[in-house]
Amino acid sequence: MPFPLLSTPPGSPAPGPLPDGGDAATVAERQDQRTEPPRLYQVVMLNDDYTPMEFVVMVLQEYFRHDLDSATLIMLKIHHEGRGVCGVYTQDVAATKVELVAAAAQRDGHPLQCVMEAA
């Protein structure tokens, strides 16, 4: 048994009221919605003269999942250039990583600074 059409074909008159007093329903055309990918932020660690290099390497391994070699290279970049990118994440993940690094540095008594910037 075929289903009744809810919309009228183009050029035909609009249907009148239904027997129960309501109007016939019409179906709008489906439009594709495009969503943009989320903005990305880079987590940047800043150099200071007090935080031990071993602590920076440990933070890069523990919170950013770098292996020992890449963590050491990033640490040296931070040491020589004053800053280094630890990773690129969505806004919520980047903010969480910044907070985790700040809490670990404070817990161990280091002044290590970590910020997030739009990528």
Q: State the pLDDT at residue 72.
A: 98
- Within a domain: 73: yes
Overall number of domains in the chain: 1
What pLDDT is stored for residue 6 in this prediction? 55
Residue at 12 is within a domain? no
20 in a structural domain? no
For position 101, which CATH number holds? 3.30.1390.10
| Residues 42-99: tens digit of each pLDDT | 999 999 999 999 999 999 999 999 999 999 999 999 999 999 999 999 999 999 999 9
Does residue 45 lie in a domain region?
yes
- What is the extent of the structural domain holding 108? 40-118
List CB contacts of 91: < 8 A, sequence separation 6 or more: 38, 39, 41, 116
Helices (H), the chain: 53-64, 68-81, 91-107
Enter the pTM of the model.
Answer: 0.71
Q: Is 21 part of a structural domain of the chain?
A: no
pLDDT surpassing 80 at residue 106: yes
Judged against a pLDDT cut of 70, whether residue 2 lies above it is answered with: no
- Categorize the per-residue pLDDT at 30 as very low, low, confident or very high, splitting at 50, 70 and 90: confident
Question: Is the pLDDT score of 8 beyond 80?
Answer: no
